[in-house]
Amino acid sequence: MAFETIILEKEEGIATITFNRPDAMNALNNRTRAEFAEAVADIAADESVKVLILTGSGKAFVAGSDIKEFNQTTPLAAHNILRLGAIVEKLEKPVIAAVNGFCLGGGCEIAMGCDIIIASEKARFGQPEINLGIIPGGGGTQRLPRLIGACRAKELIFTGDIIRADEADRIGLVNRVVPPEELMNTAREIAQKIVSKSPAALKLAKQAINKGMQTGLETGLDYEKEMYSLSLTLEDKKEGVGAFLEKRKPVFTGR
């Protein structure tokens, strides 16, 4: 599968998508969005892939949308544009963002759609759309308040400020910050841990968490009970319990 603006790699149960427009700071254009959606669909259908890592080439993760396409975008096209944050959020497999540099606008929205965010010390985060006279359109006004609280989210969105990785860590936007040379190894170490778990249980856990974040506590707790009860019917549950009692490592099949 050949792409022009991204790189898709698969190895030992881990897929990696690298945004690859370094001369444009990996800014999102329509081709990138289409290729990304195609790659994620391929990963969703590939049972050998258990975890997805996202990163960027050069000095950016994704530095936002390609401004050159703005003047050609009609309101209808903007309404129907692919929201990549939603695509990774809906993927029934864990997604790790390995943020290596500028993670702005649509890039920050993609990262916030991921399940885990690991940031390089060189990473920079922000929703600077206000500086162009517009607002975030890929989930920024919704996911950012849920992650860091409404007041902090409003400050970032209203000012368009760009923050350093350590500040993103302090306010709870990222899971951890690591030296640049350790970024991908850290992401892969986490991915390898996840690969060893039950794919079916991971799917149910992700669904339960995401559902709960979008509903009230009681609704979320009810949904959790449903997912927990369903997990008890899994073949992986039988294997996990059996392996624990037999003091061996489980071999999960995702069923």
Catalytic residues: 109, 129
Q: Which residues contact 129 (CB under 8 A, 6 or more apart)?
A: 64, 105, 135, 136, 137, 140, 157, 160
Question: What's the start-to-end Cα distance of the chain, in Å?
Answer: 28
Q: The tokens of 84 are what? A: 């990549």
- 1 contacts 8 by C-beta, under 8 angstroms: yes
Q: Length of the chain, please?
A: 255
- In what side-by-side order are the strands of the sheet with 102-104? 60-62, 102-104, 124-126, 162-164
